[in-house]
Amino acid sequence: AEYLNTDLGYVGVPKVNSQTQWLKDLLMTKTIPVFASICRDSEGHLMNVNADLFTMVLAETIQADSVIFLSDVDGVKIYGRTQSQISETDIHRGIINGEIKDGMVPKLQSCLNLINQGVNKIWIGNDLHQINNSSKSKGTWVVSSRKRKLGARV
């Protein structure tokens, strides 16, 4: 990791080395790895890293096509209601008008970066069982504004 700001102490931005094949191999076995967002600096000191940023860098590195952000909330809220789907445009608007705030901002900024990197499916929620249970769907799917518009034309 590299220091985010030396005034913050041991807080960093993750930097991935080139040795990632082990992770790809692990994922091929249908194993779901769980990571602590703690990294080392160039001198071996442990650093805290924002988990959403860690997830984004990891997903970019392995060129993931889908990402799940497990959270302490049931999805992205706009005007107090959990959104089943949110687009890039909705995210920008929500951040600007203050409806999206606090810890959801870096999470959604990571989602925007992932969409730009080609990730097709991004889900945010607190219960994995909700992903496939459409009748009781909670959680939020983050979608590309471009894909949303294309889907509307079909």
The model's pLDDT over 42-71, given as tens digits with 9 standing for 90+, comes to 899 899 998 999 999 999 988 899 999 999
CATH number of the domain to which 142 belongs: 3.40.1160.10
Is the residue at 56 inside a domain? no
Q: For residue 154, is pLDDT > 50?
A: no
Is the residue at 107 inside a domain? yes
Rounded Cα distance between 59 and 148, Å, is 22
| Together in a domain, 81 and 137 | yes
Cα separations in angstroms, 80 against 36, 50, 97: 30, 25, 14
Q: For residue 146, is pLDDT > 90?
A: no
Rounded Cα distance between 110 and 72, Å, is 17
Are 3 and 40 in contact by the 8 Å Cβ rule? The answer is no
Is the residue at 138 inside a domain? yes
Is the residue at 11 inside a domain? yes
The number of C-alpha atoms within 13 Å of 23 and in the hemisphere containing its C-beta is 15
| Together in a domain, 97 and 150 | yes
The lowest-confidence range among 12-16, 22-26, 68-72 is 12-16
| Together in a domain, 111 and 135 | yes
Rounded Cα distance between 140 and 77, Å, is 9
Which range marks the domain in which residue 10 is found?
A: 1-49
- Count of structural domains within the chain: 2
Q: What is the mean pLDDT of the chain?
A: 86
| Together in a domain, 77 and 126 | yes
| Together in a domain, 105 and 149 | yes
| Together in a domain, 77 and 153 | yes
| Together in a domain, 85 and 117 | yes
| Together in a domain, 45 and 108 | no
pLDDT given at position 136:
59
pLDDT given at position 147:
57
| Together in a domain, 23 and 68 | no
As a whole-number percent, the residues of the chain with pLDDT over 70 amount to 91
Is the residue at 54 inside a domain? no
